[in-house]
Amino acid sequence: MTVTEVPSPARDQTLRADASPAAYSTPEREPARRLTQLDALEAESIQVIREIAAELERPALLFSGGKDSVVMLHLAVKAFWPAPIPFPVLHVDTGHNFPEVLAYRDETVERLGLRLEVASVQDYIDDGRLRERADGTRNPLQTIPLLDAINEHRFGGVFGGGRRDEEKARAKERIVSLRDEFGQWDPKNQRPELWNLYNPRHRPGEHVRVFPISNWTELDIWRYIEREDMPLAPLYYAHERDVFQRDGMWLAVGPVSQPREGETVERRVVRYRTVGDMSCTGAVDSPAATNAEIVAEVAASTLTERGATRADDRISEAAMEDRKKEGYF
């Protein structure tokens, strides 16, 4: 909705239901309305993106084609309009991504005229710099290609789509998060982050990870996607797919995820709440085929998106924290 739109009476009541008229004097120049929660989140994110782009010489934005990075890119377009986004996008490709997400990634990059850098886990495995893990999951293998890409391109900072509501260790993150030359995060030694003054300065060799959408919840993301009428990769919407059940999740049948003994393949109508590796990202039974239907579904869900869909977060109580400390997000 436009900011200048004067709210309808019904809407005005929701906007002001909590306002006590006596609480503050009405200035002569009172604007037509207060900022809604989504507008406030958008404003904060754009401010962060602009500030870091201005302060750092060479930032990059991590773009996987997933919903959070799509929202982040959309905010970046708004931040610099009508000028193009002044930094490249970087994707750490595990080699286990869904092909339709990679296709969406490439279309988006093309449409916005961005430069895409890809750091490929597969290349590292092929030439022996990394070894495949016994459990087959590649998420923990992303750290080294990411750090190498940061060093190679001398990125002073990278924008990531991490959100504090995703997981308990992420809830401890700052918007601007300092990493040492090993990419490590020290939760006990984080920078104070005061008012809305962001400080990304660091020593050579260090870099910062910046999370402009820290304060958004999964529901905020979907409401924004709906409001801004953004199309996402098709697997976020209900579709028919061959899946089998493992660890209480529906896994897709694909090159890196085949059913084992006793796991039967079914064709079901599913969608994905998060998009990661095919080997460990589960689909959920869902008929939601539009942004509006997904908003309603997410609002009613009793499971977190990661709890419902990510096997790699279940490894241990502190799985995410360990990977963050190692330099992964």
Footprint on residues 41-70 left by another protein (CB under 8 A): 41-44, 46-47, 50-51, 53-54
- The C-alpha atoms of residue 210 and residue 283 are separated, in whole angstroms, by 29
Give residues 101-120 in contact with another protein (rule: CB under 8 A).
Answer: 113
Stretch that binds another protein, among 115-123, 129-137, 210-218, 274-282 (CB under 8 A): 210-218
Which of 58, 80, 100, 181 is in the footprint of another protein by CB under 8 A?
Answer: 80
Minimum CB separation of residue 84 from another protein in Å reads 6
15 is a site residue for another protein (CB under 8 A) = yes
Give the one residue of 100, 148, 165, 242 binding another protein; rule: CB under 8 A: 165
Report the distance separating Cα 147 and Cα 64, nearest Å. 16
Omega before residue 212 within 30° of 0, cis: no
What's the min distance (Å) between Cβ of 246 and another protein? 17
**Helix residue ranges, H only, the chain:** 9-16, 37-55, 67-80, 99-112, 121-126, 143-152, 218-227, 291-300, 305-309, 319-326
- If we measure between CA atoms, which residue out of 311, 23, 53 comes closest to residue 159? 53
Piece of the chain touching another protein by CB under 8 A; list 115-123, 143-151, 224-232, 266-274 = 224-232
Binding positions for another protein, 288-317, rule CB under 8 A: 292, 295-296, 299-304, 307-308, 317
Query: Of residues 153, 227, 239, 246, which one binds another protein by CB under 8 A?
Result: 227
Nearer to another protein, 122 or 301 (CB): 301
Sequence-separated (6 or more) residues with CB below 8 Å from residue 137: 277, 279, 280, 311, 312
- The verdict on 19 binding another protein (CB under 8 A) reads yes
Choose one: 132-140, 167-175, 237-245, 249-257; the region binding another protein (CB under 8 A): 167-175
> How many helices (H) and strands (E) in the chain?
10, 10
Contact flag: residue 153 with another protein (CB under 8 A): no
Q: Which of 9, 29, 247, 262 binds another protein (CB under 8 A)?
A: 29
Describe the crossing of helices 67-80 and 218-227 by its angle, rounded to 10 degrees: 60
Closest CA to 162 of 297, 57, 90, 61: 61
Residue choice 122, 184, 217, 245 for contact with another protein (CB under 8 A): 217
Instruction: List, in sequence order, every residue forming a beta bridge with 241; answer none if it has no partner.
Output: 268
